[in-house]
Structure 1
Amino acid sequence: MSYAIGIDIGGTKTAIGLVNSEGQVLAKTSLPTDQTLLPSEMVDRIAEAVNGLLNDKGLQPSDLLGIGIGAPGPLNTKLGIIAEPPNMRGWWGFPVVAAFKKHFSSEIVFENDATAAALAEKWVGAAQAAEHFIYITVSTGIGAGIYSHGKLITGATGNAGDIGHMAIDPAAGTCVCGQQGCLEFVASGTAIARSASELLGRSITSKEAFDLAFSGQDGRMEEIVNRAFRYIGIGCVSLINTFDPELLVIGGGVSQVGAPMFDAVSDYIKRYALNPSGRDTQLVPAALQQDAGLIGAAALIHIPYSF
């Protein structure tokens, strides 16, 4: 049995897992991503947590095939740096691979977090039988991992699939990236919470917005939620028309609302995908959910040995 560490760095939390060659998470932990610390100090904490997992399992760093790291983009996988993720300004330009190499001599592989999650779904999740699929995460932000012709499509610097900043509705307002009406700005969990809070005049979460919408007690909230689902549908149709996938896998916190979102998005695809075969593109929930990122990061190491 071989082992790899998967590290999923997020704006608020970093998940760390020990994953074997069958995709099983043998041990995991998480740390707050403390953005008051220097990134190098945060890496020190992550490395300490990795060593703690290994010690608990009676393993040494030398027992690892390697360490996979997933992080939000923009990044540059060729240079091993986190470039300019909007929610991690303190990490801009940080050489994350070099920082981990100060702690570990194992192979280190670095990819966009959504790309890594797509690989996880291909390896042991909902896309095992697919050769052409797109994994979409709809959560605090929106991103995608693209798998086509039997391999990941990562782009020149590892940023392929940054669909959250695809303009959907320019009249909707200005995104954090400066563009008007990006998909993430209009349809993420953050967007739903923002619209609902502005409507009610008080701060509420996206979960509270969904609860109000589905209770049938607030038609205005239902309108906000349905509008977000339509925007997600628009994004999915754009992906279908561009990449011709056989399967779309949707994960992330917003996907947890289940049938209301999947039904609405499926209906939109059936109406508006250009190719008749595209209108029948299968839409399924992600199988791995909260562990997709760390399993995917570990898969960056395991996949060459598993397939």
Structure 2
Amino acid sequence: MQHAIGVDIGGTKVAIAIVDEAGNILTESVIPTDLSIPAIKMVGKINNEIEQVIKRTGIPMEQLIGIGIGAPGPLDSKNGIITSPPNLSGWIDVPITQIVEQHFSIPVSLENDANAAAMAERLIGAAQENDNFAYITVSTGIGAGIVAEGKLLRGLKGNAGDIGHTVVDPSFGKCTCGQYGCLEWIASGTAIARQGSAIIGKDISTKDVFNLYFNGNKEIIRLIEKVFRVLGVACVSVINTFDTEKIVIGGGVSKVGDPLFQSIQAYVSEFALNETGRQTEIVPAKLEQSSGVIGAAALCFAR
């Protein structure tokens, strides 16, 4: 059986795992993302941890088909460069693929983390039977991985699917990107906490907002209903644009469960443009905790 290494780089931690072609994790390690040191040194720490993970499994290097890396965008996946992610401060134009390939002498692939998660859901998750689907993460930010006719849509630099900065409703005000009314500014976990805090009059978390929602706070209920509707609008736009058969939703906000999925499904059933679009399934992700490393490894199997 073939094996690959998956590396999931985040703003606070890096997960590294050896994964077989069935999507099983043989061993996994997590190290903190140290943003106080130069990015090149942090990549060196990642290389060292990859070595330790390989040693623990005892798998010979010749049995590893490659290393897949999932990282937040913007990035240049075709040239293997992490360009300027907001939550990896100081990581500017880091040629991570080149550095890792030189260290291990095996092929290395780089993709946006949402794309990697989409690949994981297709390999062993909620979209195993689907050639046309979108994986949408609703967490600190909002992003998507799009699979069409069985192929991941990457775009020019590998940043396709950045739906978080699609303008949905300018009345919600100015997004951090400079536009008005971006999806991420309205419906991300960060946005929910910000708007909930404004309603309550003190800083509260996204989890606190949803607790108030379930406890019947009327103002919070109105806020969350708007958020669900906006996410429904986003899903309809994805369905109309890419003719999907399924949308898989992950990320921290998806943990709210049935109220979110039922609301989006109802919106899609009413407003998607054509009959097949209105029948698009809206389902939760299956691989929340491990989708990053499994998806990163899956990039090697797909290649």
Note the alpha carbon deviations across 1:121-169, whole angstroms, 9 max, x for none. 1111111111111111111111111111121111111111111111111
**1:286, 1:122 → 2: CA distance?**
10
Query: With structure 1 as the length reference, what TM-score do the two structures score?
Result: 0.95
User: Which position in structure 1 is the counterpart of 2:148?
Assistant: 148
Following TM superposition, the consecutive aligned residue runs of length 4 or more in structure 1 with deviations greater than 4 angstroms are none
Q: Which moved more, 1:156-165 or 1:193-202?
A: 193-202
Counterpart-to-counterpart distance in 1, 2:38 and 2:223:
38
Greater shift, 81-90 or 23-32, is seen at 81-90
Instruction: Give the SS at the match of 2:84.
Output: coil
Contiguous gaps of at least 5 residues in structure 2:
none
- Whether 1:24 and 2:24 are equivalent positions in the alignment is yes
- Kept in 2, the 8 Å contact 1:51–1:61? The answer is no
Q: Distance in 2 between matches of 1:176 and 1:42?
A: 27
AA in 1 matched with 2:129: A
Aligned length: 303
Residue type at the aligned position of 1:280: Q
1:294 maps to 293
The 1:211/1:293 distance shift into structure 2, 3 A limit, reads same
2:132 counterpart residue number: 132
Contact 1:86 1:177 in 2 (8 A): no
1:234 aligns with 2:233: yes
CA shift, 1:258, in A, is: 0.9
- Could you list the per-position Cα deviations for residues 71-125 of structure 1 after superposition, in whole angstroms to 9, with x for gaps in the alignment? 1111111221112222223112221212222422111011111111111111111
- The 8 Å contact of residues 86 and 176 in structure 1, kept in 2 or not, is answered as no
Partner of 2:94: 94
SS of corresponding position for 1:134? strand
Cα shift at 1:60: 4.4
Counterpart in the other structure of 1:74 = 74
Residue by residue over 1:250-289, the C-alpha shift from the partner in whole angstroms, topping out at 9 and shown as x without a partner, is 1111111110100111111112111122111111111111
Q: Which residue type is aligned with residue 101 of structure 1?
A: E
> What amino acid does structure 2 have at the position aligned with 1:171?
S
2:275 aligned counterpart, secondary structure: coil
Deviation, 1:22, is 1.2
Counterpart for residue 190 of structure 2: 190
CA contact (8 A) 1:82 1:91 kept: yes
- Give the whole-Å Cα distance in 1 for the aligned partners of 2:45 and 2:200: 40
**2-side partners of 1:197 and 1:60: how far apart?**
53
Task: Determine helix, strand or coil for the equivalent of 1:91.
Answer: coil
Counterparts of 2:222 and 2:61 in 1: how far apart (Å)? 52
Cα shift at 1:62:
4.2
| Inter-partner Cα distance in structure 1 for 2:203 and 2:234 | 27
Report the alpha carbon displacement of residue 20 of structure 1 after superposing the two structures with TM: 0.9
How does 1:6-21 map onto structure 2 within 5 Å? 6-21=6-21
Extract unaligned runs of 5+ from structure 1.
none
**SS in structure 2 opposite 1:117?**
helix
TM-score by length of 2: 0.96
1:1-307 → structure 2 map (5 Å cutoff): 1-216=1-216, 218-304=217-303
- Aligned-pair Cα RMSD in Å: 1.4
